[in-house]
Structure 1
Amino acid sequence: MKLRKFVDPLPIPSTLKPNTILNGVPYYEVTMLQCVQQLHRDLSPTTIWGYNGMYPGPTIEAFSHHLTRVCWKNQLPRKHFLPVDKTVHGAEPSNPEVRTVVHLHGGATPDYSDGYPEAWFTNNFQEVGPYFTTKIYDYPNLQPSTALWYHDHAVGITRLNIYAGLSGFYFIRDTQEQMLNLPKGNYEVPLMVQDRSFNTNGSLYYPCEPEIPVEGVCPSVIPEFFGDTILVNGKVWPYLDIEPRRYRFRLLNASNSRFYNFSLSSNQFFYQIGSDQGLLKQPVMLKEILLGPAERADVIVDFSMQYGDTIILQNSAPAPFPDGDVPEPETTGSILQFRINRPLCSLDTSTIPYYLTHMPILSEDLASKTRQLSLDMTQDAYGREINLLNNKRWAEPITECPKLGTYELWSFLNTTDDAHPIHIHLVRFQVLDRQPYDVDLYQQTGNISTTGPKITPPLNERGWKDTVIANPGEITRVIFAVGPFTGLYVWHCHILEHEDHEMMLPYIVIR
């Protein structure tokens, strides 16, 4: 169904207040609920799953190195309203159909609070059990100022739970950020960008089988999902009335599979000041910003000379990325409309600093261990295409056991035709380089023969990251310090359909 663009104002997720303060620690209770929400003026209310009954969930704000404690509660229904493929690992008929576990994406957290995919919990009226209905997680916030996000991570159904609405922002603040005089308050705007499709009755549409149906399996997991409408903060193609001044936007690609190449219809610059894990050393001027699923960008846009103008935030990334269909300008090529129509409330004294933060450069010589990790495609037992890490399934023995306090260099060798956004839990890393190589030779012999020079990452990718785009036919190298905790974690592709269908592996941090 065709919906008119830019008829609804952009909602701003509310900031959650603690239920109480216990021994100086803010304590929150967040309940997952099924509700209905108006996602577009001309749509009937849509059934969603939301944290505290909201899609997106409320924003949590924390301060660097100050502990936050959250009690996550599951009060969702017994049955999923989206198609669950019970042939997928973790979603077998023996498990409850509705399961959740919360992951703070990008958080340096103890393993018991990381949202391990098999540490799921469920609602309190299952016919089988017993099962937990709540989990209390500790978030130490051992990171500088950054925009993280929390979302569901239950094994086998993450794609469905996030698509249903289970995601929200989590901001860490610190004194250095506060001293930079960046746009703040009403002039700092979070933008969670997702694609969705709708049935005529307003309900969320999600396919129950691939384009080529799988005999004997329905519903069946699909290789990737691309919706035909774009939502920002839970509204379809919204607009934002703004003043002619500088604004700070916290961009998040929270889509299942879709990449976004953001630009402004006015052809003006973004000033990118931060990436996944915080501030860059210096602002980077860009007319386009590419974000894979789960990547973030912290940007400033100066609208001071545009009073009376209307500007569209646009997308030009093919789907699937990088060699799929180019988005249509009137649908998936449009994201959000800025209307610079409000008078200045006060003089804009914010700045775009020349220098933002100290950024140490991690040399590959620091690495005590180098791992070559392939990104592969094969077929599962039903003949469906399946993406894997290192040609392994989830249940196979764990082979990655990095040692706490050491540095490791991970090389991702992409043998597939897709770009994969690879996320490593717990750690923050730096991208060293990308380099083309002979994929056929590698697949036939296991030997690596590079076919071009190493390509250093673009300036806006030279900060701290937790998710990196591994392009097809390239070796992507990242380096990180292992820690700050020991325990059981995971690494995976953040295309959710890939992650749910075996493109995820555990790893253990040892002493």
Structure 2
Amino acid sequence: MSAAGRRREVSRRLVLGAGAAFGSMSMASGPLTWMSTTGLGPGPNLPEVAELTPFLDPLPTPSRATPVQVDGIHQLIIPLMNATARLHAQLPPTRLWTYGGTVPGPTIEVRRGWRLRVTWTNNLRGTVPLTAVEAANTNSPWNAPGRSGALPRPDVAALTPWAAAHVHGALTGANSDGWPENVLAPGESQLSEYPNDQPASMLLYHDHAMAVTRWNVFAGLAGSYVIRDDEEDSLGLPRGDAEIPLFVCDRNFDTTADGRLTGDLLHKVTLVNDMGWMRAHTGPFTLVNGVVWPYKDVPARWHRLRLTNAANTRQYHFRLVDEHGETVPLHLIGTDGGLLSEPVQLSDGIVLASAERADILVDFGPYRGQRLELVNVETNPDPGPWPHVMEFRVRPSRVSDPFRLPRTLSRSFTRVTQVPGDSPPDRLVVLTPMGPTQALLWEMARIATPPGPLPADGIIQLAEADGSMTTYERRSVAFGDPAQFTVTAGGWERWRFLHAASSGWPHPMHLHASGFQVLRRERLDLRGFTQIGARGFGTSSPITVAGPGAELPGDTGWKDTVRVQAAELVTVATRFGQPCGKFVYHCHMLEHEDMGMMRHFRVMPPVLRDLEMRDDMGMGDMHG
């Protein structure tokens, strides 16, 4: 075969490796083209109903993208493409932006140690397939179907497809991480390499384009990424049909003048008060694997639920209940970064903020013939008019099930209780309240004494639990400000996130390029934190640690996203790997991320950092 022929064959195998699992291809002539295969089959093409019937549609299983090995490297080509899907049998088709033609995108599955190269190709066309509206007054219903009088944004209506693919939780180099400003125009491609040198876990991939992540993800650009390893295999956990991915998000739909649902995506934000504070988007309809309120027939045996909160903003409190309203026991076996050392029984379900994942075991054996409902009982924000998530229909017949809940899971897992090293770097990030602006990230630096009388904008004092007090000065706040934190590759650091609002939604903080464990949560007395002038904040008296906070079930494992409650200080021990470059961290409420709650840091090899510091002529590290 000629060199050109070999290239064509390799290209065909790559696309088949991705496409045979999750799309269909036309190969009549010319280059390969993609055609969407998503959708639920026959249904209305025009609006017919004002309310949707729960549990009408079966739960789809996301298609799978199988990498093809070429010259020792596993490879995939995943196109970003327009598609339509019926998100509920009673809805007309919905226009979407997708990875590979499905929502969610195909599940990418790899083994630990596989070096995977993915070509993300932007084949999207037209403008974003949603209507973005903003409320004109504080009385607009924020958690109800339809526009409710909110006004369309013409700038969003004209948004063309700029994209940047990011694998959330992947430890990869900066050039493959999906830097938000490195966006793809239609027709362009992003080649990313993922070493997958990390434990078995469920990650997710999604768009990360600067300023438009909230709308690109809302339009459908998200999917799952699964890493397997030998340790996971040895446990004999439920697999195949007994391993159920649950990719959960909330959406809203536009309505006709008489209230019938059109199926068109509606991104609605509303005013919180007369000062112009905007409430981030939450929608009244919960989708699981791209379908509103589905059902799943299951045999009466153990199952493994791979749960992802893929919502833009909404925090879910998932609870599984039986026909009598009693809570069904769940067992947490893994978090964002992989398996725990032992199972944790969840007596009241589990809370997941945006981008958090949970690996859960449940025994359906005692519930033969019952219908169990997964519901959202979260109150901050409340679930709106419908708490439904999905329904499990347990078959009445007995089945043989040899599986038993293991006492020990990951023997390689080590619980980190303090940051290794003599004097690891200590970072403090303040999450400001909504006030004169939307909530922001402040990067702080220790100073010996306040520069003048207090309170002063950007100066805070923190009284620790041990009685010591530290003064901090704000150094950066906007994304465009210079990098303040420089991290040594392979090093450990202590990062602390201080939520300076006395009430309100938690902030799920996500660090790229690292995994971390929660060291502690502490409650804060914020009476000394005050607004200064029209746009500033500072302390008139120190913020005081009032006592330990409540440990969450996921705090005992490896994380890449941590939920920071109002009036809480969360400390994590984070280890950065060898991949170097410039990375971001941010609140994973996508509206917050797009509107200012994102900053960046550098990871450098020790030798380069030492040389940089030496060449600063004794001035020290100007970046961290």
How far apart, CA to CA, are the structure 2 residues paired with 1:96 and 1:449? 43
Report deviation, 1:258.
0.5
Aligned partner of residue 217 in structure 2, secondary structure: helix
Aligned partner of residue 144 in structure 1, secondary structure: coil
Equivalent residue, structure 2, for 1:64: 112
How far apart, CA to CA, are the structure 1 residues paired with 2:430 and 2:304? 37
Correspondence 1:237 to 2:293: yes
Correspondence 1:362 to 2:416: yes
Report deviation, 1:402.
1.4
How far apart, CA to CA, are the structure 2 residues paired with 1:79 and 1:458? 41
User: Which residue of 433, 437, 441 corresponds with 1:388?
Assistant: 441
Letter in 2 for 1:349: P
User: Which residue of 348, 352, 373 corresponds with 1:312?
Assistant: 373
Equivalent residue, structure 1, for 2:508: 421
How far apart, CA to CA, are the structure 2 residues paired with 1:143 and 1:466? 13
Equivalent residue, structure 1, for 2:594: 500
Aligned partner of residue 364 in structure 1, secondary structure: coil
Correspondence 1:247 to 2:326: no
Equivalent residue, structure 2, for 1:44: 92
Aligned partner of residue 437 in structure 1, secondary structure: strand
User: Which residue of 166, 173, 186 corresponds with 1:103?
Assistant: 166
**Does the CA-based 8 Å contact 1:260-1:317 persist in structure 2?**
yes
User: Which residue of 386, 390, 400 corresponds with 1:336?
Assistant: 390
**Does the CA-based 8 Å contact 2:82-2:97 persist in structure 1?**
yes
User: Which residue of 272, 282, 286 corresponds with 1:226?
Assistant: 282
Letter in 2 for 1:15: R
Report deviation, 1:455.
3.5
Q: Which fold has the larger relative contact order, with Cα–Cα distance below 8 Å and residues 6 or more apart in sequence?
A: 1
Rg comparison, structure with higher value: 2
Letter in 2 for 1:295: E
Equivalent residue, structure 1, for 2:63: 14
Q: Which of 292-301 and 430-439 deviates more?
A: 430-439
Letter in 1 for 2:523: P
User: Which residue of 241, 245, 257 corresponds with 1:190?
Assistant: 245
What per-residue deviation string (whole Å, max 9, x for no partner) do you get for residues 22-78 of structure 1? 112221111111111010000000001110111000000011111111110101114
How far apart, CA to CA, are the structure 2 residues paired with 1:227 and 1:5? 16
User: Which residue of 557, 561, 565 corresponds with 1:467?
Assistant: 561
**Does the CA-based 8 Å contact 1:435-1:450 persist in structure 2?**
no
Aligned partner of residue 218 in structure 2, secondary structure: helix
**Does the CA-based 8 Å contact 1:223-1:497 persist in structure 2?**
no
- Alpha carbons of structure 1 residues 13 and 419: separation in structure 2 relative to 1, 3 Å: same
Correspondence 1:402 to 2:487: yes
Letter in 1 for 2:84: V
- Alpha carbons of structure 1 residues 174 and 447: separation in structure 2 relative to 1, 3 Å: farther
TM-score, normalisation: structure 2: 0.73
Letter in 1 for 2:55: F
Letter in 2 for 1:350: F
Correspondence 1:441 to 2:531: no
Letter in 2 for 1:232: V
Correspondence 1:327 to 2:383: yes
Letter in 2 for 1:357: S
- Alpha carbons of structure 1 residues 136 and 54: separation in structure 2 relative to 1, 3 Å: same
Number of equivalences: 480
Equivalent residue, structure 1, for 2:19: none
How far apart, CA to CA, are the structure 2 residues paired with 1:38 and 1:389? 43
Equivalent residue, structure 2, for 1:281: 341
**Does the CA-based 8 Å contact 2:527-2:543 persist in structure 1?**
no
Report deviation, 1:505.
0.4
Equivalent residue, structure 2, for 1:290: 351
**Does the CA-based 8 Å contact 1:423-1:492 persist in structure 2?**
yes
Report deviation, 1:120.
1.1
**Does the CA-based 8 Å contact 1:84-1:157 persist in structure 2?**
no
How far apart, CA to CA, are the structure 2 residues paired with 1:459 and 1:494? 20
Report deviation, 1:81.
2.8
Report deviation, 1:275.
0.5
Aligned partner of residue 592 in structure 2, secondary structure: helix
Structure 1, unpaired ranges of 5+: 86-90, 125-132, 216-220, 321-325
Aligned partner of residue 64 in structure 2, secondary structure: coil
- Aligned CA-pair RMSD: 2.3
Structure 1 segment 164-183 matched on structure 2, within 5 A:
164-183=219-238
**Does the CA-based 8 Å contact 2:235-2:409 persist in structure 1?**
yes
Structure 1 segment 98-137 matched on structure 2, within 5 A:
98-124=161-187, 133-137=188-192
Structure 2, unpaired ranges of 5+: 1-49, 134-153, 255-260, 444-475, 531-537, 606-624
Percent identity between the two aligned chains: 35
What per-residue deviation string (whole Å, max 9, x for no partner) do you get for residues 114-167 of structure 1? 11111111103xxxxxxxx10111010010100001000001000001100111
**Does the CA-based 8 Å contact 2:164-2:178 persist in structure 1?**
yes
TM-score, normalisation: structure 1: 0.89
Aligned partner of residue 255 in structure 1, secondary structure: coil
**Does the CA-based 8 Å contact 2:295-2:393 persist in structure 1?**
yes
**Does the CA-based 8 Å contact 2:269-2:281 persist in structure 1?**
no
